[in-house]
Amino acid sequence: MIKNIITTERIPVKMWLETLDETALQQAKNLASLPFAFHHIAIMPDAHQGYGMPIGGVLATIGAIIPNAVGRDIGCGMCATRTNLNTISKDILKALLKRVRDRIPVGFNRHTTAQDKKWMPKGYDISHLPICSQEFNAALHQVGTLGGGNHFIEIQKGNDGFIWIMVHSGSRNIGSKVADHYNKEARRLNELWHSCVERSKDLAFLPLESDIGKQYQKEMAYCVDFAYCNRLLMIERIKHCMQKLIQDVSFEEPINIAHNYARQEVHYGRELIVHRKGATSAEIGEKGIIPGSQGTNSYIVMGSGNKESFRSCSHGAGRKLGRKEAQRVLDLDKEIKFLEEKGILHAVRGKYDLDEATSAYKSIDEVMENQKDLVEILVELKPLAVVKG
């Protein structure tokens, strides 16, 4: 439900949470003051400070696209698949995690050999995508890798009685290179045009119908598809690991959603570019995935198509503490005890893992309560084991 509406800017900011930290709130106001922003800004219940635009923000624009309103990890999102298993032992979980870590590089690591090109996006003439073609060979070593930060692999038990696999990852370095290139170009051009969008707001834009605006959209689309391929390959590798350990295990078709992208959509009778940065599409009947923090439940959901959120919902729990702050203030023993009392095979080992500890994130229960008008919960998933980047 909408908890707060800010009306001090050119268009309103509608918030699905009571309060927002001061920096994120100012970022939301900056969005609302853009001359090409349309109707209102939607802030999801997991929102927090981002770069230029709050994570958990939805921005609709007319005639302009903003690289920073998509972000550096273009196409980052979730993939989840249900198995036919009703239970899995702790010993099998431990063996599975070891096999997964052997097959899927994490953090800054990548495959030592190029992966099969069949795992790369199809339907593109890569020669017409300057940054993606430049990064193509490196991407062949990165497809099927987890990355770092808040990316994860989880084995979960659903309240539907089945074991699930869930992966959170994005477009790796190729997405970062595309984002950086076009944001720099947008900043350069905005200064050349003496744009009214101040450089300090980190919201430099590209005209939608300009050559460079069209080029960014094509390269962004490729990165969104690459992120999808990346998650699918990891799911395949996890499935193979499970099949080595468990007889007669089978898997349903995966659910896949992205939460960092911009695309053309129609809202309020207008053709718009909708930027979702840490937000997920929630069309009527559309299946989605909302993960909790490490140690808390995740959800398979169905969208309600709420027009006031631009048919969107949250992408997760959302950070409560910055990474450095979490490492500084959280109690390592307390965080480990919390996870172990729940019987979770977790990834918190030392001080530098505290940035991904449970207490670094908002309450997923509160986030889900605040967006009951945006999604319907289909399956609640309890974490059993986790691999972090």
Catalytic residue among 48, 141, 315, 346: 315
Name residue 65's beta-bridge partners.
206
Contacts of 45 (CB under 8 A, 6+ apart): 16, 17, 56, 314, 318, 366, 367, 370, 371
In sequence order, what E strands does the chain have? 4-6, 13-15, 41-48, 55-61, 64-65, 77-82, 152-158, 163-169, 206-207, 255-258, 260-267, 270-277, 279-281, 287-290, 298-303, 312-314, 375-388
Whether 315 sits among the annotated catalytic residues: the reply is: yes
Helix axes 211-245, 130-142, angle to 10 degrees: 10
Which secondary-structure segment (H or E) carries 131? Answer: helix 130-142
Phi/psi at 284 (nearest 5 deg)? -55, 125
Backbone dihedral region of 27: left (phi > 0), alpha (psi from -120 to 50 degrees) or beta? alpha
Q: Strand 13-15 vs strand 41-48: parallel, antiparallel, or unpaired?
A: parallel
Q: Please tell me what DSSP assigns to residue 343.
A: T
CB count in 10 Å sphere of residue 216: 26
With CA atoms as reference, report the closest residue to 283 among 373, 377, 378, 374.
Answer: 374
Dihedral sign, CA of 141, 167, 327, 344?
negative
Q: Which residues contact 103 (CB under 8 A, 6 or more apart)?
A: 237, 238, 240, 241
Q: CA dist 226 to 181, 202, 240, Å?
A: 18, 26, 21
Tell me how crowded residue 363 is: count the other CB atoms within 10 A of its CB: 16
Give the span between the Cα atoms of 39 and 44, in whole angstroms: 16
Question: What is the spatial distance between Cα 168 and Cα 170, in angstroms, rounded to a whole number?
Answer: 7
Spatial separation of the C-alpha atoms in residues 58 and 30, rounded to whole Å: 13
Catalytic residue annotation: 315
